[in-house]
Structure 1
C-alpha cells in the first residue's frame, strides 16, 4: 500500500522477504519523479499499480540511489527515463557483462531473497541509465525543487541522495548500512555521511529498508555505531 509522507511525497514500502527497498515518489506540478527502480519488473509494476490506484501519474524520471540489484534490476520496466551517477552506471555495465558471460546462477546464489524475487524462472534483466550525472544536479518538477547529489557513505562508493528541501525529506537509499555481505561500516565514512545529513535542509530521512525517521535519529545511529 502506497504511503504518503508530505503533500508532494509518497513511498511504496519495503519488504524484507524479497529484500525489496522503499520506492520513493515525488509529484511536481509538471511531472513526477521516482526514487529507485525496484528489484525486478514485478516489483516495479506493483509500485506503478499502487500509484495508479491513488490517482498519481507514472514518473517521467527515476533516480537511482546506488547500483545494488534490489534498487536497479527493475530499470528496464520503468516509465520514462532513468538517471544515475557515472559510478553507479559503470557498476551496472560490469554486472550486465558478467551476467551475459556467466548466466544468472551466480546472482541467484547470492542470497535467498534474490531467489524468492526471481522464483518461477523470471528473467534477470540489467539495463544501464539513460542519463548520467556527476557530483550534483538540481531539477524543478514544477514548483518542486529536487536536489540530486553524490556523497561518501559506508555502504557503497556510488551513493546518490535525493533531497526535496521544501518538503523536508532526504532519500538516502542504503547509504547508512555497512558493506554487503559483512555489513561492516568504515567509521570515517559514517562520520562524513552524518555530516552530509546534518548539512541538509531535511527534517526527515527515508532509508532504503526502514521507515521514515527524524534526521537526528539517523545521525545518532551513525555516530553510535562508531562508538561501539
Structure 2
C-alpha cells in the first residue's frame, strides 16, 4: 500500500509492504505529522502496522518522521553517517540558514521545513539500527525485499527497494538531479547507468518517491526523452546548440518543452 506524494511541503510517497510475518515501511516521512497520516490510513484499511523501516536515502523529507515510528531502521552506511552529522541541531532560523550556506540543504528544503514544522520546530533525528554497504535482503514472510545501494547525483547514498514477489521497484529519488551543494545537475553517464539498473529489474511497477506509480511501459515512455537527451549529451558534451538540435529532430518539434529545457540545463551543469 502507498500514500501518494504531496508537493506543498515536499512529502514523498510512503509505502507499506505487507508480508506474512512482518510489514516493512519504505521511508519515514518528512515529519511526525506525515507519519501519523500514513499510520491512520493503514489502520482505516485494517493493515498491520510496520515492524521495520527501510530508508532510501538521508534527505529530510524521507527521514525526519523516524521518531514517530520508533522502528528498527535499515539504511546504507552513508545514510547513517549523514543522519549522525545532523544529530543535536536545534533547527532554528540560524541553524537553517547555516545549513543552506554550507550546502547541506537547499533554500527550497529550508522553506519546506518551515512550512511543515512552523516556527516552533522540534525535530528529533533517529539513527538507523541496521547498517549495510552494498545490499541487504529482508524476508517479511512470503515477501522478499531487497534494498540496494545505487548512488547517483541526487544523493550518494541513494538506494532502490525491490519487492521481488510483486515485482515492484521503489526508486526513491535516485533518478533525480543533485539538489544540495550547488546548482542542480545531472551526470549524463551516471543517469544512463541508473536507468540501465532500473530497466534490468523488468519490474511490473516503478515508483519514484515524488511521482506516480507507473507500469514498465509507462515508465520507459515517460523517461524516453530524458534518456535520449542524456545519450546526446554523452556524445556532444558542452555543445548546447547541437544537443537542442538533436532533441528537436528526435522529437520532431520546433521548440523543446519547458521540462526538457530545464533538464538540459541540469545535464549541461553536469558536464562542468
Global fold match (TM > 0.5): yes
Relative to structure 1, the CA distance from residue 38 to residue 53 in structure 2 (aligned partners, 3 Å threshold; closer, same or farther) is: same
Alignment RMSD: 1.8
CA distance in 1, matches of 2:80, 2:207: 23
- CA shift at 1:218, angstroms? 5.7
Asked whether the equivalents of residues 164 and 202 of structure 1 are also in contact (C-alpha less than 8 Å), the reply is: no
What is aligned with 1:223?
227
Q: Confirm whether residue 18 of structure 1 aligns to residue 9 of structure 2.
A: yes
Aligned residue in 1 for 2:146 = 147
Alignment of 1:1-228 (within 5 A): 10-97=1-88, 99=89, 103-105=91-93, 106-107=95-96, 110-111=107-108, 112-181=111-180, 182-215=183-216, 216-217=220-221, 219-220=223-224, 222-226=226-230, 227=232, 228=264
Alpha-carbon offset, residue 79 of structure 1: 4.3
**21-30 or 104-113, larger mean C-alpha shift:** 104-113
Q: Is the 8 A contact 1:191 1:222 kept in 2?
A: no
Deviation at 1:122, TM superposition (A): 3.5
Which has the larger helix fraction? 2
Q: CA deviation at 1:165?
A: 2.1
Deviation at 1:221, TM superposition (A): 5.2
The worse-fitting range, judged by mean Cα deviation, of 115-124 and 26-35 is 115-124
SS in 1 for 2:148: strand
For the Cα contact (< 8 Å) 1:169–1:204, is it kept in 2?
yes
| Bigger shift: residues 75-84 or 210-219 | 210-219
Q: TM-score, normalised by structure 1?
A: 0.88
Name the CA distance, whole Å, in 2 between partners of 1:64 and 1:218.
25
Distance in 1 of aligned mates of 2:53 and 2:75: 9
Q: Mind listing any 5+ residue stretches in structure 2 that lack a counterpart?
A: 101-106, 233-263, 265-272
Cα shift readout 1:115-169 (whole Å, capped 9, x = no counterpart): 1101151412211111111101112111111111111322111011110122121
Deviation at 1:224, TM superposition (A): 3.3
Q: Which has the higher strand share?
A: 1
For residues 221 and 174 of structure 1, the distance between their equivalents in structure 2, rounded to whole angstroms, comes to: 19
Shift in Å, 1:204: 1.6
* Contact map agreement 1:197 1:219 (CA 8 A) in 2: no
Relative to 1, partners in 2 of residues 1:79 and 1:218: Cα closer, same or farther, differing over 3 Å? Answer: farther
Distance 1:70 1:173 in 2: 11
Distance 1:88 1:174, change over 3 A: same
| CA contact 2:28–2:69 (8 Å) conserved in 1 | yes
TM-score, normalised via structure 2 length:
0.74
